[in-house]
Amino acid sequence: MHESERRYGEDGGPKRKKTKHNSHYNRIHTEDMDTSVRKESFKVFISLINEAESFVGWSPIHLTKEVHKELGKVVRASKTRSGALLVECVNEEQQTKAVKITKLGGQNVKCVIGRDKELVRGVITGIPVDESLEGLIANIGNVKVKEAKRLKMKRDGVLMDSLSVLLTFDELMLPQKVFIGFMSYDVRVYVPPPLRCFKCQRVAHVVPELELAIYKRLSDDLAVYTAELVAIWFALSWLESNDRMRHRQVVIASDSSSALESIQLSHSTSRNDILSEILQQASTLIKAGFKVSFLWVPAHIGVMGNEMADKYAKIAAGKDNIDTDIKHSKAEVKSIIKAKISGKWQQLWERGPTGRHLFSIQPQVSKVVGVVGTRQQEVVLARLRMGHSKLNSTLEKNRCTA
């Protein structure tokens, strides 16, 4: 049986989703997905010219006023995962007007017409940061590329360009490779960054029936698995304080299969402390007459409650202070230490006076060392990487004549 066809009952075992509540839940799911024929829409994406900024931190009231000032009444507007603004216009005339907007709220913006079909996007790695993206698109020979965008990375709190480039293909399927000149690059599937920040974790749980949402910021540098368990813990805590839910069927839905598996098995390799609280609280609720079940749902496919939880977790990103302090596990402490060491190592490698020839080839530090071929071939490759070879640059350094 597929994972999406399982739910975890009071006895911890998998059951088929035939209950009245689950049927109702699936009905909501189907309505949200809306499989009926959709009428034509007129969408426009508005993004800030400065890629380091986004609309995420903007007030929704302020944004609404600015959009109405430029376009009048629109069908709807929402913030996208990338920080852009998606505006659905009333008609084609309003869409044409929206595309011509150059300023919104005093900020320079660019506008493009949105399309309904899903974009085919992939990532290639190893493109130098000084490489022109326009030239890159022009020199890709085997497939059509509509757009290229340099992906960012954050080091020591500073946002900088990475060696990875996001390509938007004018193709029906994602190609396995792209050819730039005589070189080939593997294309991997682009996975959008999660709504939840991996450094300063935020969580949320919602009760759609009661239009209730609770969202909190947790301690920094917690694992996503920990945050998922804490969100379930919060949901149970809220349930315990609400007697009106007694003797009613309650389903706690989560998109974390690892968290639900830990609850089912009553075992966690890293967070037995939080899991024990969850199991104890669930047991207390069941004894008190609450009917509690757990349901796994796929992420980002339109399930109402899950999408609302992600939405409020994103809103919690605006919080500067920690609401709930969660102690780190040993594994999380090790990850923090490793990240700090890697960051320090990268700083020394970037600022050090030696090894500049290898730095030009391998700017990112890594413990991974590729071993290919015979020992003799490895010696040749090692000398080339370090710049100790009988080539012109080395001969000139040693003042040798050919």
Q: How confident is the model at residue 36 (pLDDT cuts 50, 70, 90)?
A: very low
Select from 137, 164, 189 the last residue of a domain. Answer: 189
Select from 56, 80, 113 the last residue of a domain. Answer: 113
What crossing angle do the helices spanning 272-287 and 224-240 adopt, rounded to 10°? Answer: 20
Task: Tell me the three state secondary structure of residue 32.
Answer: helix
Query: Is 67 a member of any domain?
Result: yes
Query: Is 346 a member of any domain?
Result: no
Assign residue 326 the CATH number of its domain.
3.30.420.10
Q: What is the pLDDT of residue 14?
A: 40
Do residues 62 and 144 share a domain? no
Q: What is the pLDDT of residue 191?
A: 54
Q: What is the pLDDT averaged over residues 277-304?
A: 77
Do residues 125 and 221 share a domain? no
Do residues 144 and 238 share a domain? no
Query: Is 109 a member of any domain?
Result: yes
Q: What is the pLDDT of residue 19?
A: 40
Do residues 309 and 240 share a domain? yes
> Looking at per-residue confidence, does 123 or 39 come out higher?
123
Q: What is the pLDDT of residue 283?
A: 83
Q: What is the pLDDT of residues 320-374, one digit of tens each?
A: 676 777 888 888 888 889 888 988 999 898 888 888 888 888 888 887 776 677 8
> Looking at per-residue confidence, does 369 or 17 come out higher?
369
Do residues 183 and 201 share a domain? no
Q: How many helices (H) and strands (E) does the chain have?
A: 12, 17
Do residues 245 and 302 share a domain? yes
Q: What is the pLDDT of residue 305?
A: 63
Range in 15-19, 198-202, 252-256, 311-315 with the lowest mean pLDDT: 15-19
Range in 98-107, 115-124, 349-358, 374-383 with the lowest mean pLDDT: 115-124
Do residues 274 and 227 share a domain? yes
Looking at the predicted structure, is the pLDDT value of residue 197 above 80? no
Q: What is the pLDDT averaged over residues 379-396?
A: 76
Return phi, psi of residue 207, to 5°. Answer: -120, 90
Q: What is the pLDDT averaged over residues 377-382?
A: 84
Q: What is the pLDDT of residue 301?
A: 57
Residue 76: which domain range?
42-113
Query: Is 73 a member of any domain?
Result: yes
Do residues 252 and 298 share a domain? yes
Do residues 158 and 237 share a domain? no
Which H or E element spans position 107?
strand 107-113
Do residues 321 and 284 share a domain? yes
Query: Is 7 a member of any domain?
Result: yes
Q: What is the pLDDT of residue 115?
A: 57
Q: How confident is the model at residue 212 (pLDDT cuts 50, 70, 90)?
A: low
Q: What is the mean pLDDT of the chain?
A: 75
Select from 138, 169, 189 the last residue of a domain. Answer: 189
**What does each C-alpha distance from 68 to 22, 47, 56, 89, 381 come to in angstroms?**
41, 17, 19, 11, 62
Cα dihedral 299, 304, 310, 313 sign: negative
Looking at the predicted structure, is the pLDDT value of residue 202 above 70? no
Query: Is 336 a member of any domain?
Result: no
Give the number of domains in the chain.
4
Q: What is the pLDDT of residue 213?
A: 65
Return phi, psi of residue 128, to 5°. Answer: -55, 145
- Read off the tokens for 349: 């490698």
Query: Is 225 a member of any domain?
Result: yes
Q: What is the pLDDT of residue 38?
A: 38
Assign residue 182 the CATH number of its domain.
3.30.70.330
Q: Where is mean pLDDT largest: 11-25, 69-83, 92-106, 187-201? A: 92-106
Do residues 355 and 322 share a domain? no
Do residues 366 and 318 share a domain? no
Query: Is 344 a member of any domain?
Result: no
Q: Where is mean pLDDT largest: 171-175, 211-215, 258-262, 316-320? A: 258-262
Looking at the predicted structure, is the pLDDT value of residue 264 above 60? yes
Surface-to-core class of residue 292, CB atoms within 10 Å of its CB (0-12 exposed, 13-18 middle, 19+ buried): buried
Q: What is the pLDDT averaged over residues 312-327?
A: 69
Q: What is the pLDDT of residue 195?
A: 40
